[in-house]
Amino acid sequence: MSALKLKKGASSHSAYNLRPTFSDAEERHTLAVIVDNEPGVLARVIGLFSGRGYNIDSLTVAEVDHTGHTSRITIVTTGTPQIIEQIKAQLGRIVVVHDVHDLTVEGPSVERELALLRVTGTGDKRVEALRLADIFRANVVDSTLDSFVFEITGTSEKVDAFADLMRPLGLEEIARTGVAALSRGT
């Protein structure tokens, strides 16, 4: 079959680059969606995911171009290759979406997440928490005599690992931003 001579890295407005959809294995993809920053745009994107039963592992959004009023939504999602292609095509046809990039297949990219963790403890636990924070290059952004708030930046895996270590040391509460991602320079 002449079939699917498909490049990796489909863009939102073309089906020519669709990858073969034979596999049933689920994949994790990071999508960057450039949208008009107007009321309801996030609801459109989230509504698409809930309405069609797609997964959202993480989602971040902020205006990135104040003059052009465009926002960048970074979505981490999982699904079979066919579902991932559908998600991109469905996102691409939302009228206020300018572009959809699949950072997972469009070449190397960097992903970062920021988390704030409040860890309460005294004595050895407090010392150990501070020592581990140093190893993870987490910053102390608030301190009392029996608590710290750490700020950590890194991949989701790094944040997970740090949170796992903090849990027995008195982790009380955690706030995470979700993933922001950008393709690397070429």
Partner 1 sequence: MTRQMTGAKMVVQALKDQGVDVVFGYPGGAVLPIYDEIFQQNDIRHILVRHEQGAVHAAEGYARSTGKPGVVLVTSGPGATNAVTGLTDALMDSIPLIVLTGQVPTFMIGSDAFQEADTVGITRPCTKHNWLVKETERLAQTIHEAFHVATSGRPGPVLVDIPKDVQFASAKYLEPAQTKTSHYQPQTMGDIDTITELVEALEQAERPIFYTGGGVINSGDEATKLLRELVDATGIPITSTLMGLGCYPASGKNWLGMLGMHGLYEANMAMHDCDLMINIGARFDDRITGRLDAFSPGSQRAHIDIDPSSINKVIRTDFPIVGDVKEVLRQMLGLWKDRGSKINRDAIRNWWGRIDEWKKINCLAFTQSGKTIKPQHAVHRLEELTKGHDRYICTEVGQHQMWAAQYLGFEDPNRWMTSGGLGTMGYGFPASIGVQVAHPESLVINVAGEASWLMNMQEMGTAVQYRLPVKQFILNNERLGMVRQWQELLHGERYSHSWSDALPDFVKLAEAFGAKGIQCSDPADLDDAIMEMLNYDGPVIFDCLVEKHENCFPMIPSGKAHNEMLLGENASTADAIDAGGAVLV
d(CA 67, CA 70): 8
* Residues 6 or more apart whose Cβ sits within 8 Å of residue 163: 115, 117, 171, 174
Smallest separation, CB 96 to partner 1 (Å)? 7
Give, as ranges, the residues between 21 and 40 that touch partner 1 (CB under 8 A). 21-22, 39-40
The correct pick among 32, 61, 85, 179 for binding partner 1 (CB under 8 A) is 85
Q: How far is the CB of 74 from partner 1 (least distance, A)?
A: 21
Given the complex with partner 1, which of 75 and 94 has the nearer CB atom? 94
Binding track over 95-134 against partner 1, x by CB under 8 A: xx-x------------------------------------
Tell me if 4 contacts partner 1 by CB under 8 A: yes
- Residue 177 binds to partner 1 (criterion: CB under 8 A): no
Give the sheet arrangement for strand 58-65, strand by strand: 58-65, 70-79, 27-36, 97-102
d(CA 28, CA 103): 11
Written as six digits, the tokens of 171 are 């982790």
Least CB distance to partner 1 at residue 64 (A): 16
Q: What are the tokens at 115?
A: 């988390």
Residues of this chain that bind partner 1 (CB under 8 A):
1-4, 12-16, 18, 20-22, 39-40, 43-44, 47, 51, 82, 85-86, 89-90, 92-96, 98
